[in-house]
């Protein structure tokens, strides 16, 4: 009964989405206030219906209702309750439901928190959101209904893929989807602005916090995925340039370009058409990512069993969304005026550089990801693009990005003097060059060319940001009591500034992590028997043997290791190899001793011979945590920026009616 309620709620949500996409938009075009005011209640209604549908599916999982096909395929009575809930989005149908639920939640949030927006604008945004929701609900109801019944009812489910029975992966998809779907808000704002022909600084200001929040979620989502792959897959890598990973990286790259270009549009009313184009691209790439993951057209280590009909549906949907929005763009964008002029040495130029580099990198990643499809289409053979190619492309662009990143925030809008810039940044520049020289000397462990370059760039980004923070505080007259001045600034209008600084320092931290781990990483595959020991990077791993240990829904072979540095024991590790009772699939559970400056990592391969020997993989990973720490700082910076009071100023605006009618007339 409850699954049918959920199914029914989905159908109602589709009908509501039809109304939502038509009436508020029509109202905004004809000036019909009654139709426009429908927008908010419709957004809330959509959220209510989809919450009901989602709750129905969660309930089916918690009660192990195997008469529902999706539950029978992805759950099992032995599964711990927490994973029963995360199993809801462990497969295609459920993750799609989660996607539309988030879509509705973002819509409702826009409706609730944008009280200062002109009514016509909100009506258009909600309508565009409704159109996207129609696409996804149709997709779900036609090809992937999560509430489909199964008869006869099996006594036991098939179990969730053991790889997904993990905390990191339980929250990775929701974070990622919050980001993907969040870009739909930026997209809706852009399309709404195009429909209204009103692309101005105000539009950028409305759109900016939403975009930044979406970007922060996506950052965390990608970071969790990387972290999960690191500890769960047992390969010790943190990024594989796999098509599915690239699918999430591309919207992030364009999203990063977008939040920077929005800044220019808000502050200087420039880059308007470009910003709109980026907003369209960010969401289109999110959809493309979904298509790549769900259609199975690419060979991926992450690929799940797929259905060609679904791929076709998403492809058609993608064409409608991309084609429609680009057509609208081509029709409307030329009318958009061109905004402020700027000189070669100005913050606009630096942000333009940022945008070009990010877009160039996105194009390269897209190219590398789709190259196998292109080759196949032209009958040039079946290829795969190796990850060294992606690394090369990243290394070719990243240094420029870091140089611009250190310089840009120190520049003034519109025009700056080279001498003034040099005066404020000379010591940051000098110290970075010193780092470069120091790291290049042989006394520093030889890690190749990239160690000095990477560390110097990280130093440059960090130091130049210290310089601009110092300058800002000096302007506020607070260099005598830095802490007090900083707190006052944070309480006042400085949050978006410090958010930016935090995020940029996050980039520096990330760069240090990547540089160190790729230059000094050590790994070795060895065969060890009980009592054997092996040393890498000054750490001695002593293998004590492996035992059989039962878990809640699996049986594990558990190895025991003592890790010594010199005479001191630094870690006691228990890597596992699990066999899940629900399915025959084995699972490696690596044991990691995490540290701020290094990780020690052991994973069990398989038993060899009859004497209790094992094939093992041992790793030493310096600074690997910094990679994720950097991502966390970026997301934190984004959140801090959004909390800037500037974005809340006009919430209690009393000028609403006037603005509404003006916008409706436009």
Binding-site ranges for other proteins (CB under 8 A) = 161, 163, 233-234, 296-299, 301-305, 308, 341, 343-344, 352, 356, 360, 364, 367-368, 371, 375, 381-386, 388-389, 392-393, 396-397, 525-527, 583, 585-588, 603, 605-606, 608-609, 613, 615-617
Least distance CB 603 / other proteins (angstroms): 8
Least distance CB 427 / other proteins (angstroms): 29
Least distance CB 362 / other proteins (angstroms): 12
Structure tokens, 236? 């010790």
The secondary structure of residue 326, as a DSSP letter, is H
For 199, phi then psi, to 5°, come to -110, 100
Whether the bond between 480 and the residue before it is cis, its omega within 30 degrees of 0, is no
Least distance CB 43 / other proteins (angstroms): 36
SS3 28: helix
Structure tokens, 86? 């995360």
DSSP secondary structure, 405-465, as one string:
HHHGGGSPSS---HHHHHHHHHHHHHHHHHHHHHHHSTTS----THHHHHHHHHHHHHHHH
Beta-bridged to residue 540, according to DSSP, are 535, 564
Q: Please, are residues 393 and 368 in contact by the beta-carbon 8 Å criterion?
A: yes
SS3 39: helix
Structure tokens, 177? 């989807």
Using the minimum distance from each CB to other proteins, give the nearer residue, 345 or 421.
345
Least distance CB 652 / other proteins (angstroms): 41
Q: What is the spatial distance between Cα 272 and Cα 261, in angstroms, rounded to a whole number?
A: 8
Least distance CB 163 / other proteins (angstroms): 6
Q: Please, are residues 599 and 236 in contact by the beta-carbon 8 Å criterion?
A: no
Using the minimum distance from each CB to other proteins, give the nearer residue, 12 or 608.
608
Lookup result for tokens 């609900």 = 137
Using the minimum distance from each CB to other proteins, give the nearer residue, 538 or 609.
609
Using the minimum distance from each CB to other proteins, give the nearer residue, 258 or 352.
352
Least distance CB 586 / other proteins (angstroms): 5
For 407, phi then psi, to 5°, come to -85, -45
Q: What is the spatial distance between Cα 238 and Cα 236, in angstroms, rounded to a whole number?
A: 7
Using the minimum distance from each CB to other proteins, give the nearer residue, 166 or 471.
166
Least distance CB 303 / other proteins (angstroms): 6
Structure tokens, 8? 């029914």
Burial 54-77 (b: 16+ CB within 10 A, else e): bebbbebbeebbbebbbbbbbbbe
For 453, phi then psi, to 5°, come to -60, -50
Least distance CB 344 / other proteins (angstroms): 7
């Amino acid at each position: 009964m409850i699954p049918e309620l959920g199914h029914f709620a989905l159908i109602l949500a589709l009908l509501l989405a039809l109304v939502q996409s038509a009436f508020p938009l029509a109202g905004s075009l004809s000036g019909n206030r009654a139709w426009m005011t429908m927008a908010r209640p419709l957004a809330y209604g959509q959220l209510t219906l989809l919450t009901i549908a989602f709750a129905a599916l969660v309930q089916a999982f918690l009660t192990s209702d195997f008469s529902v096909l999706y539950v029978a395929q992805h759950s099992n009575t032995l599964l711990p309750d927490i994973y029963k809930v995360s199993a809801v989005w462990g497969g295609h149908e459920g993750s799609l439901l989660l996607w539309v639920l988030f879509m509705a939640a973002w819509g409702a949030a826009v409706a609730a928190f944008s009280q200062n927006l002109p009514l016509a604008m909100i009506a258009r945004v909600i309508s565009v959101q409704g159109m996207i929701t129609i696409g996804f609900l149709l997709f779900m109801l036609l090809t992937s209904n999560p509430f489909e019944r199964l008869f006869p009812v099996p006594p036991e489910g098939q179990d969730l893929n053991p790889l997904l029975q993990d905390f990191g992966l339980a929250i990775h998809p929701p974070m990622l989807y919050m980001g993907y779907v969040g870009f739909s808000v930026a997209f809706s704002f852009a399309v709404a602005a195009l429909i209204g022909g009103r692309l101005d600084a105000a539009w950028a200001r409305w759109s900016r916090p939403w975009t930044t929040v979406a970007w922060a979620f996506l950052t965390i989502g990608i970071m969790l995925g990387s972290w999960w792959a690191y500890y769960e897959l047992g390969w010790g890598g943190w990024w594989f340039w796999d098509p599915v990973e690239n699918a999430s990286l591309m919207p992030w790259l364009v999203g990063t370009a977008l939040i920077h270009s929005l800044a220019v549009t808000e502050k200087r009313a420039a880059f308007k058409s470009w910003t709109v184009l980026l907003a369209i691209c960010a969401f289109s790439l999110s959809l493309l990512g979904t298509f790549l993951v769900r259609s199975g057209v690419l060979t991926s280590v992450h690929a799940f069993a797929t259905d060609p009909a679904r791929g076709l549906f998403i492809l058609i949907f993608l064409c409608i969304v991309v084609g429609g929005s680009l057509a609208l763009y081509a029709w409307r964008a030329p009318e958009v005026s061109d905004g402020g002029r700027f000189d070669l040495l100005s913050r606009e130029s630096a942000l333009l550089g940022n945008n070009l580099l990010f877009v160039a990198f996105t194009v390269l990643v897209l190219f590398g990801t789709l190259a196998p499809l292109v080759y196949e289409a032209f009958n040039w053979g079946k290829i795969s693009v190796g990850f060294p190619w992606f690394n090369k492309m990243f290394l070719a662009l990243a240094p420029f990005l870091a140089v611009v990143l250190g310089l840009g925030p120190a520049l003034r809008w519109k025009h700056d003097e080279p001498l003034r810039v040099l005066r404020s940044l000379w010591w940051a520049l000098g110290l970075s060059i010193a780092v470069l020289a120091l790291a290049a000397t042989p006394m520093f462990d030889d890690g190749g060319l990239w160690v000095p370059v990477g560390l110097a760039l990280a130093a440059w980004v960090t130091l130049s940001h210290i310089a601009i923070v110092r300058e800002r505080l000096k302007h506020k007259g607070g260099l005598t009591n830095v802490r007090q001045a900083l707190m006052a600034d944070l309480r006042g209008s400085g949050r978006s500034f410090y958010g930016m600084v935090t995020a940029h320092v996050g980039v520096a931290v990330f760069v240090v992590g990547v540089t160190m781990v790729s230059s000094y990483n050590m790994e070795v595959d060895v065969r060890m028997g009980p009592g054997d020991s092996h040393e890498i990077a000054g750490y001695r791993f002593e293998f004590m043997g492996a035992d059989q240990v039962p878990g809640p829904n699996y049986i594990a072979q558990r190895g025991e290791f003592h890790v010594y540095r010199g005479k001191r024991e630094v870690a006691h590790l228990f890597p596992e190899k699990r066999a899940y009772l629900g399915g025959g699939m084995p699972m490696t559970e690596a044991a990691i001793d995490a540290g701020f400056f290094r990780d020690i990592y052991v994973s069990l391969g398989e038993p060899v011979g009859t004497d209790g020997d094992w094939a093992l993989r041992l790793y030493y990973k310096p600074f690997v945590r910094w990679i994720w720490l950097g991502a966390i700082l970026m997301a934190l910076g984004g959140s801090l920026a959004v909390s800037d009071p500037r974005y809340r100023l006009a919430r209690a605006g009393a000028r609403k009616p006037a603005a509404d009618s003006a916008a409706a007339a436009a």
